[in-house]
Each structure stands twice: as structure tokens, then as C-alpha cells.
Homo-oligomer: A and B are copies of this chain.
């Protein structure tokens, strides 16, 4: 969706469409039955495409799974980048935007989150999965640390207060994803946002009382 290669012939379009359909079917299969149950037969049945298609488009089933992981990670990155860019330069607004984006139903939904967790479970087994699903700890963490620095008054107490706050917020969001994944029915999106805001509020209140 982000890159529109022009002048596509009908055949190329249908090829890309089949590819996308396979990725989507594989994702659905992972969601329904886990990585263990995401078999060629399942994916074929969901996609209504022929059995040979997977190996034709992706050489192997494992490559298709990898493509699902990449697709998911790219969608997450794009979503977050867009949200941050739209937030302007005020760190408080950026933080709110980051919370909202991370809790957005387009990202935090039971289908996608369950797929995230499936890949994460095998991350240390498969290095290729690892690089895909590690997107959270890179750009995201750095950005959040910058925001925390801007929001923490100086002098800090303790001296590494911004770093502590940043890693706390990363973990908080990560944990909220886990709560959602383990119990999507009892999950309240608005409540989760309030929890984030409450923690942020407490973290970035005036810190000079102790010193």
C-alpha cells in the first residue's frame, strides 16, 4: 500500500494479489490454530488457492510464515511512525499519541496480537523471526526515551530517572499487550489508556521533593 509500483500489467496484479492472499490466509491460520496448526492444507483451504501456490510464490512454507511476520512488523512500524509524525513536537502530545497508537484496534486486535505472540514464542529458535518481531526495542524505545528526557525536570532524582521511566513505559505497553492477548474479552481499551496516562502522570510529576 505504501509503494505503488506503476504500470502493472493484469498478470502482475493477479500475482501480487495471490501473494497477498496467501499471506492473509497464513495469518488467519496462525490466528486460528497457532503456528503448529498453520499447515499447507489449512492455508490452502482458507485461501481457496491451489496447493502448489505456496511453494511457487515463497519457495517454502517457512518463507511464507516469515513473510507474515514481516508484513505484521511493517504494518506496526508504519502505523507508529504515522502517529508520531501527526503528533507534532510537544513531548506530552507525542507520548499521548504513542499510547493511543499502541492501543489502536488496527494494531491491538486479537488476530494480529495472537500472531505476534506466535512468532515471539519461536523468536529465539528462528533468527529470521527474531529480527522481524524485535521492532519494538529499536526505534520505538529510542523515541520513548527522548520523550521521557524532555518530560523529566532537571535535576533528576535518581540521575537515571528518564531511562527508568522509558523502560517502565515500554514494559507497561508490552504488558498491556500481554493482558489483551491472554484475555481479550475482559480487556477494556479505555481503561488501559487511563492506566498508561496515570502512570505517565505519576512518573513526570515534579520530582524535586526527594532532594
Residues of chain A having any CB pair with chain B under 8 Å: 32-37, 110, 114, 117-118, 120-126, 133-134, 136-137, 158, 161, 164-165, 167-168, 170-179, 181-184, 191, 194-195, 198-199, 202-203, 205, 209
Contacts and interface: CB of A to CB of B under 8 A. Distances in A.
Nearest to A34: B122
Contacts of A118: 121-122
Closest 8 CB pairs of A and B: A171-B175, A175-B175, A174-B175, A121-B121, A34-B122, A174-B178, A117-B121, A118-B121
B199 A168 contact: yes
How often does this chain occur in the complex, in copies? 2
A7 to B, nearest CB: 41
Contacts of A209: 205
A71 to B, nearest CB: 18
Given A120-B182, A178-B174, A161 B198 contact: yes
A140 to B, nearest CB: 12
Nearest to A158: B198
Nearest to A110: B124
Contact of A198 (B114, B164, B179): B164
A187 B99 CA distance: 24
A181 to B, nearest CB: 7
30 contacts: A32-B125, A33-B125, A34-B35, A34-B122, A34-B125, A34-B126, A35-B35, A35-B121, A37-B125, A110-B124, A117-B120, A118-B122, A120-B181, A121-B121, A123-B182, A133-B182, A137-B179, A137-B182, A164-B198, A164-B199, A165-B198, A167-B195, A168-B198, A172-B175, A174-B174, A174-B178, A177-B178, A199-B199, A199-B203, A205-B205
B114 A121 contact: yes
A177 B209 CA distance: 32
A137 B32 CA distance: 23
A35 B32 CA distance: 16
Contact of A172 (B117, B123, B133, B172): B172
